[in-house]
Copies of this chain bind each other. A is one copy, B any other.
Amino acid sequence: MDYTSLPLKRLAEQFERMPGVGKVSAQRMAFYVLGLTPDEAKNFADAITDAVSKLHRCSICQNLTEHDTCPICENIKRNKSIICVVGTVQDLMAVEKTGEYDGVYHVLHGEISPLNGIGPDDLTIKELLNRVKNEAIDEIILATNSDTEGETTAMYIQRLLKPFELKVTRPAYGIPVGMELQYADNITLGRAIEGRQIF
């Protein structure tokens, strides 16, 4: 893009660094910002610096929060004896959105991936084990992804949890609701048959 002014160019470059944003979208976003009032622009700018400066990990579950503990850990209605272990805060949000889960979480902040140099010590597995040791936990749901990294992470944690004699579960994998059987991929269909349930 031939930006004739430096502040506009700089702004578009900032947007262009974001995931899924190309040159054209970045330009459109920069011109959107130019249409903001100084107050609106300040709010936008503050939202960016606030998110980075105010958010840190919940001292219990490692979810992001601006307080010492997150609203889920602080909620007395949540069942503290079930921990759903997820890779990222986005995964936590996806489970929350279902409205089906009333337990608490543990965010690993990654999954074991030797190819990317991410080992167990880079995740919050130690913190999870401390919770298992010190809290009254009945069940751990290992809701890591179903790809290689996620499966590896789940198996690694499962092994560490064995001495505690807990109920350790994994979400059901099968045909997505609404999908026609013929369009399910082999691995998913295989898992669905393997994990079949009484009707």
Q: Which A residues are within 8 Å of any B CB, using their own CB?
A: 1-8, 10-11, 13-14, 17-21, 25, 27-34, 36-38, 41-55, 63-66, 70-72, 89-90, 92-93, 96-97
User: Which of chain B's residues have a CB closer than 8 A to the CB of A29?
Assistant: 18-19, 21
Neighbouring B residues of A43 by C-beta, 8 Å:
14
CB-defined contacts of A11 to chain B, threshold 8 Å = 47-48, 50-51
A-side interface mostly? helix
Asked whether, in the complex, the Cβ of A5 is within 8 Å of the Cβ of B97, the reply is no
Contact A7 B51 (CB under 8 A): yes
In the complex, what residue of chain B is closest to A61 when comparing beta carbons?
A: B4
A105 to chain B, nearest CB (A): 9
Given contacts A2-B96, A2-B97, contact A7 B45 (CB under 8 A): no
Are A20 and B31 in touch, CB under 8 angstroms? no
The answer to whether B14 touches A64, judged by C-beta atoms less than 8 angstroms apart, is no
User: Once the chains bind, are B27 and A65 in contact (CB under 8 Å)?
Assistant: no
6 A-B pairs closest in CB distance: A45-B45, A41-B52, A2-B96, A11-B47, A11-B51, A45-B48
Q: Decide: A4 and B45 in contact? CB cutoff 8 A.
A: no
Least Cβ–Cβ distance between A30 and chain B, in angstroms: 7
State in angstroms the CA–CA spacing of A34 and B50 once bound together: 10
Chosen A-B contacts, 17 in total, with CB atoms closer than 8 Å, are A4-B63, A4-B64, A4-B71, A5-B55, A7-B50, A7-B66, A10-B50, A10-B51, A11-B50, A14-B43, A19-B28, A30-B51, A31-B90, A33-B51, A38-B53, A44-B45, A45-B49
